Structure 1
Amino acid sequence: MATVVRGERRPFGPIANDVSGLASTLSQVGGEGVCRWKMLMNGMHLEGEWNCVEYVVIEPGASVGEHVHLRTEEIYYIVSGRAVVTMDGVEIHAEAGDLITTPIGSAHSIANRGDEDMHFFVTEVFPNAGPAKAPARVHVPGLLADRADGADIRSASVDLTPYFTGDWQRFRLVEVAAGSRWEETVPAGTSVVLHVLEGSARIAVDSIGHTGGAGLSVAVPPRYPFTVDDTSGSGRVSLIVTEVGVA
């Protein structure tokens, strides 16, 4: 959200971070075992009603205990491994590529009952007025399609507005082929966070580049142009894009 200084609105610029240096948390929110966690973006530094952007790793047999968000709405995107999300007493079995929406007021927990680490990406946004919506699970890779303009890019898009009261817009999965470039300009009423899932990329925002592999996150404010170039030399770069409205 922007900051007002002496009556003047002061926006923030782009932010870059990655998933290195995760903190270890024991019995998170009353859960079991060890989780590794990092806040990638604090909402006070983003345009729009973001609360936070986080990355969490749950070790085998561990969990984040049941809790209720009374002030934010939330999404989980399962990056790797398998998860059991319990939402208002109902178990949701999720796998890599699943997007889980958590409405305000829902009691939820997430556990790793598998034998490998489970990674997931978290975004929380402040709500608006209105009744809470029902939770949902969407397998985003199943929606991937080639772009109509013939570019060597595949994308999938989930409209988040039916699931929340807040200023959520879209959640996207984008795959950029080896040696290709994806470029966009963020609309005036939107801010986005890009997060690399696979491969390596150079993400340039207003010509300032940030290069990294899986776990690189870049926040792009309204009206800023950005480009994503595959730098792996083979294969593709895959990334997720969370879009939130800016009043």
Structure 2
Amino acid sequence: MTVATAGPGTAAAGPADPGPRSFRAIGTVTGAATVHGVHGAAGRTRWKCFAGRRQLASPTEAVEWASVPPGGLSGEHRHTRTEEIYLVLRGRGEFLYNGVPHPVGPGSLALTPPGNVHGLRNTGGTDLDWWVVETLAPGTDAVLSGAAPIHPGVPPMGDVIIHDLFKERTVSTDGVFTGPLRRVEVVELEAGQRTVLGASDAELAVFVHGGEGRAASGDAAAELSSGTCVTLGAGTSTAVEAASALRLLIVTLALPRRAGEAS
């Protein structure tokens, strides 16, 4: 990912003008649906899907937001074909991994590879909100694309992997995930600062965790505020300017390599 920052009134260097396909999808948590019995759990979940396979070029199943009230639960379920992150945005809870609870709070980044069972319980006194990015494992992508004639099978269960993203700032999924989700990071800007976001070989999913600003690319622009999610196309360049202190959460989603490309 290309990230270049500059002070107030200073243009930031970055990739060339990307044209009209920079913004593949834009949404906010406003108008989130209410869903009952998610993964078999009792109670309600607020849920919003920002982008899925129809909007994205990477083998990404979905970019979503979810929230459960105090005492709420997103039920435990096994991942057999996808890799998924839960990034806690607000509230306190327990990340349930292969039957064992682990305390989580704002900034907790939980990685779930195929073969493992996970869920999330709200143990706090306020709503528990989290960002979800789910991607196809390579074997699944091969089956769906017709490259593999049989199901690749489900790997065995592993150990829990939870990071504190707000302390670590950048988390690589190397050695854990094998699909397109390569990195999760935080970019923070002060009022008036600018940054340019883009990657030649990957899409970026960007969630505004706090603050206000504006994103612009070519003739397209989008106002940014807390709860906004933008997905950016590969090979594009998007300038972001902060109107107030702005915190961006960014996931890198690599595109499939074409035949003949070097690894």
| TM-score bucket (shorter structure) | 0.7 to 0.9
Structure 1 position 162 matched with structure 2 position 171: no
Moved over 6 A (4+): none
Partners of 2:22 and 2:217 within 8 A in 1: no
Letter in 1 for 2:164: H
Q: What's the % identity of the aligned pairs?
A: 26
1:190 is matched with which residue? Answer: 202
* Structure 2 unmatched runs, 5+: 1-20, 140-151, 257-263
Match for 1:244 among 245, 249, 253? 253
Structure 1 position 20 matched with structure 2 position 19: no
Which structure: greater strand fraction?
1
The one of the two structures with greater contact order (alpha-carbon pairs below 8 A, sep at least 6) is 2
Partners of 1:79 and 1:97 within 8 A in 2: yes
| TM-score computed with the length of structure 2 as normaliser | 0.79
2:105 is matched with which residue? Answer: 95
| TM-score computed with the length of structure 1 as normaliser | 0.84
Structure 1 position 142 matched with structure 2 position 132: no
* C-alpha separation in 2, matches of 1:209 and 1:66: 39
DSSP 3-state at the match of 1:51: strand
Measured against aligned partners, the alpha-carbon deviations of 1:13-38 in whole angstroms (never above 9, x if no partner) come to 52211111111112221213221011
* C-alpha separation in 1, matches of 2:101 and 2:133: 21
Partners of 1:206 and 1:224 within 8 A in 2: no
User: RMSD between aligned alpha carbons?
Assistant: 1.6
Structure 1 position 201 matched with structure 2 position 224: no
* Structure 1 unmatched runs, 5+: 1-11, 144-155
Letter in 1 for 2:162: R
* Count of aligned pairs: 220
* C-alpha separation in 2, matches of 1:112 and 1:204: 37
Partners of 1:186 and 1:220 within 8 A in 2: no
1:172 is matched with which residue? Answer: 185
DSSP 3-state at the match of 2:39: helix
CA-CA distance at 1:63 after TM superposition? 0.4
Letter in 1 for 2:213: A
* C-alpha separation in 2, matches of 1:41 and 1:185: 18
